[in-house]
Structure 1
Amino acid sequence: MRKEVQTNLKLVDLLTEWNPFQLDNESYETEIADCIQAVHMYEHPLTLAKKIQSIYEFSFEKIIPLESCMEIAVELLKVMEDQDSCSI
């Protein structure tokens, strides 16, 4: 399996486990896809956290605390960092 696909699957797993509103897993498919796209666009944790917060707020009309978004942003960027360090 290509490295990018493996990385994206890891990102999906992290976002699915995060489950900020405690809904069933299928409830977040669109938001997870948008967040994965954002992870590929933003390298700074705070910028990514704000983007994640806005993605979920747009869909659910509820605000996730920025601290929670920051935690998941750091985890997601770590996955990206690990992927980049493994590819030579």
Structure 2
Amino acid sequence: MSDDFNSNHEAVWNDAWSWVIKQHECNNPDPDMQRKFARWLTADPSHKLAYEKANRIWLFAGFVPPVNEISFDANVADDE
């Protein structure tokens, strides 16, 4: 049963990420996409929880600058 739970949890998490990405890439989703999302979201309470968590992570990640934009002070020693 544990393997089934883990497989289902992973599938739900992957679906949630797919929906988050689709929604952030598409400024004006078509009605069919909106219906599919609503159907998926309401099919199981775990879907909504996973989607909300994935969406929060997506939004928070937007506040983190890419590594190449972070400046490091080469004069600061690690042993300070």
Q: Which category of TM-score, normalised to the shorter sequence, fits these structures?
A: 0.3 to 0.5
Give the structure-1-normalised TM-score.
Answer: 0.39
Give the structure-2-normalised TM-score.
Answer: 0.41
Larger RCO (alpha carbons 8 Å, 6+ apart): 2
Structure whose CA Rg is larger:
2
Question: Greater helix share, 1 or 2?
Answer: 1
